[in-house]
Amino acid sequence: MASCCPVPSVKDMVAEARRVFQESFGGQDPEVAVCAPGRVNLIGEHTDYNEGFVLPMALPLVTVMVGSRTRDQNVSVVTANEAVEEPRRVDFELPKDNQPLSPGQPNWANYVKGVVQHYRAQPLPGFRAVVASSVPLGGGLSSSASLEVAVYTFLQQLCPDDGDKVAKAVACQKAEHTHAGVPCGIMDQFVSVLGKEGHALLIDCRSLEATLVPLADPSLVILITNSNVRHSLTGSEYPSRRRQCEEAAAILGKGSLREATLQDLEDAKGRLDSVTFRRARHVIEEIWRTTQAAEALKQGAYREFGRLMVESHNSLRDHYEVSCKELDELVSAAMGVEGVYGSRMTGGGFGGCTVTLLEAEAVDRAIKHIKEHYSGSPTFYITKPSEGARVLSL
Ligand code: GAF
């Protein structure tokens, strides 16, 4: 498995963040360390903001945050992530009297500011901190949600809230809406907070309840392949998909597409343009596929699970139109390997990663085959369902 990206140990990441903290803040030691994971979604794509089901798992790739409170109202945050834009240090004062904390430059700091603003136990003390991440940026593995949830978890150590985990995920989702301008659903923040080692989470995005689905069979591997492409369309495409779904639900007379059936859609065909029809069709079918897939996983019916993954990918490609040539190539390459159960794009789309479910003994073969059949330069991660956000020892 020589060609897989190593997953850095959380301990090493904390040691590095601590070193950067000492270097940035006059040799002081941080008092608190936390981390929050990225995620991979196994199935249930673009269903969360339609109040549907999703089936993600938390990754061993995490954002770490170390730091200490200050005696004043000043915040200083340094990122150890060299892939983000400069400057890598931001300083700001906590706003007084519930004034909003405006987003600005650099972009990475907006996730910190957003969470500070939406934190559920105000007023906060000032703090100094360093963030470091092993979640690839812009790879569709929720680097932003992992940063938001890490910041929230860090703030809980300085100024405890009531500990409500779902409310924590919702506050982080709000931060993304207001400070990153992405009208995302709840999936990424939810699984980053509530992920469980050895399990995927079947999340009902209407009731915000989750069921644990065991996923720790040693004969099974979850392989993530990063296409290493990101198309610039992403910015406007995500909000436009969300709008199309809301329009479709309104035309069908439903509060959300979760409440619609394929028959409702068929009956309204004359009142929907063909694009909106296809968007709604993807969502309605994907919600159903996700519940079927969770059932298949519980039964150990990996072939059936894999078949649903491929159906999901094809629907995202043809009906929802959020895939791209590179992701399609990766999926079809993976599906050409004996021992692969299924493969699909994961996350928002237009680049980023695919997720492939396969027999452990097929991993080397699959990586070799994908490399030979992909026109770009892929990177690979072999992952395991991991624990959600947590406090670490220093
Ligand atoms: C992004 C969003 F942040 C999620 O809420 C979800 O909608 C996903 O795209 C698509 O399933 O990751």
| CA 316 to centroid of chain Cα atoms | 17
For residue 151, the CA-to-ligand 1 centroid distance in Å is: 20
Is the pLDDT at 97 greater than 90, yes or no? no
Is the pLDDT at 353 greater than 60, yes or no? yes
- Minimal-distance CA residue to ligand 1 atom 2: 184
Count of residues in the chain: 394
- Minimal-distance CA residue to ligand 1 atom 9: 348
Q: Which atom of ligand 1 is found nearest the CA of 176? A: 3
Q: What is the pLDDT of residue 234?
A: 61
**What are the distances in angstroms from CA 389 to CA 128, 149, 196, 219, 295?**
20, 7, 10, 27, 26
* Interface predicted TM-score (ipTM): 0.99
Which member of 188, 204, 217, 264 is catalytic? 188
Name the nearest CA neighbour of 119 among 74, 90, 157, 88: 157
Q: Give me 137's structure tokens.
A: 């940026």
Distance between CA 260 and CA 255 in Å, rounded? 9
Q: What is the pLDDT of residue 3?
A: 76
Amino acid at residue number 137: L
- Minimal-distance CA residue to ligand 1 atom 3: 184
Q: Which atom of ligand 1 is found nearest the CA of 145? A: 3
* Mean pLDDT on 151-167: 98
Q: What is the pLDDT of residue 323?
A: 97
Residue 4 confidence class, pLDDT cut points 50, 70, 90:
confident
- Check if 29 is active-site: no
DSSP E strands in the chain: the ranges are: 32-41, 53-54, 56-69, 74-79, 89-93, 127-133, 199-204, 209-214, 220-230, 340-346, 351-359, 379-383, 390-392
Q: What is the pLDDT of residue 138?
A: 84
User: Beta strand pairing status for 220-230 and 351-359?
Assistant: antiparallel
Q: Which residue has the tokens 């969770």?
A: 294
Q: Which of 133-142, 280-289, 379-388 has the lowest mean pLDDT?
A: 133-142
Mutate-to-test residue for ligand 1 from 46, 54, 287, highest number of ligand atoms within 8 A of CB: 46
* pLDDT averaged over every residue in the chain: 96
Is the pLDDT at 344 greater than 70, yes or no? yes
For residue 239, the CA-to-ligand 1 centroid distance in Å is: 11
- Write the pLDDT tens digit of every residue in 228-283: 998 765 689 999 999 999 999 999 999 999 999 999 999 999 999 999 999 999 99
Mutate-to-test residue for ligand 1 from 47, 142, 184, 286, highest number of ligand atoms within 8 A of CB: 184
DSSP string of 228-266, one letter each residue = EEE-TTHHHHHHHHHHHHHHHHHHHT-SSGGG--HHHHH
For residue 348, the CA-to-ligand 1 centroid distance in Å is: 5
Do 341 and 306 form a contact (C-beta atoms < 8 A)? yes
Secondary structure of residue 324 in the 3-state scheme: coil
Q: Which atom of ligand 1 is found nearest the CA of 144? A: 3
End-to-end CA separation in angstroms for the chain: 31
Q: Which of 27-41, 54-68, 232-246, 309-323 has the lowest mean pLDDT?
A: 232-246
- Minimal-distance CA residue to ligand 1 atom 5: 185
Q: What is the pLDDT of residue 261?
A: 98
For residue 353, the CA-to-ligand 1 centroid distance in Å is: 13
Mutate-to-test residue for ligand 1 from 53, 172, 188, highest number of ligand atoms within 8 A of CB: 188
Distance between CA 244 and CA 217 in Å, rounded? 39
Q: Which atom of ligand 1 is found nearest the CA of 348? A: 9
For residue 174, the CA-to-ligand 1 centroid distance in Å is: 14
- The fraction of the chain above a pLDDT of 90, given in percent, is 93
Do 169 and 194 form a contact (C-beta atoms < 8 A)? yes
Q: What is the pLDDT of residue 179?
A: 96
Q: What is the pLDDT of residue 83?
A: 84
Distance between CA 202 and CA 224 in Å, rounded? 19
Distance between CA 314 and CA 356 in Å, rounded? 14
Name the nearest CA neighbour of 4 among 356, 331, 337, 386: 356
Pocket of ligand 1 (CB under 6 A): 41, 45-46, 48-49, 184-185, 187-188, 347-348
For residue 214, the CA-to-ligand 1 centroid distance in Å is: 23
Q: Which atom of ligand 1 is found nearest the CA of 49? A: 7
Q: Which atom of ligand 1 is found nearest the CA of 41? A: 11
Do 178 and 114 form a contact (C-beta atoms < 8 A)? yes
Q: What is the pLDDT of residue 227?
A: 97
- The fraction of the chain above a pLDDT of 70, given in percent, is 99
For residue 182, the CA-to-ligand 1 centroid distance in Å is: 10
